[in-house]
Amino acid sequence: MRMLLNVRIPHEPFNSYVRDGIAGTTISKILEETKAEAVYFTEQNGMRGAVLIVDVPNASKIPALAEPWFLRFKADCEFRIVMSPEDLAKAELEKLGKTWK
């Protein structure tokens, strides 16, 4: 199942990692393990953030995606199920509409 992983990274310890020269290598290691389909870095509520599209074959894989961000950066993580246009086309919306009208 494809999910959107939204990560909000607080200023500390990230600022200290930048000063120590390890922020980039730490993020690279997390991304290497995560194997995300797409990754975008952005600002979120005045803090650093990242948005990743990840494949989650079952719920037991969620900790492996979130824990590196929690443990290394004290980040907040949110997961949202997402669909591609092809997924939505398979959803049989017309049938659901008739069932629930």
- The strand pair at 76-81 and 47-55 is best described as unpaired
Q: What is the pLDDT of residues 1-60, one digit of tens each?
A: 999 999 999 999 999 999 999 999 999 999 999 999 999 999 999 999 999 999 999 999
Structure tokens, 75: 């980040």
Q: Exposed, middle or buried by CB within 10 Å (0-12, 13-18, 19+), for 73?
A: buried
Q: Name every residue whose Cβ is closer than 8 Å to that of residue 21 and which is 6 or more positions away in sequence.
A: none
Q: What is the pLDDT of residues 43-100, one digit of tens each?
A: 999 999 999 999 999 999 999 999 999 999 999 999 999 999 999 999 999 999 999 9
Structure tokens, 40: 């975008």
Q: Which residue reads 């290497």 in tokens?
A: 32
Q: Domains of the chain by range and CATH? A: 2-99 (3.30.70.260)
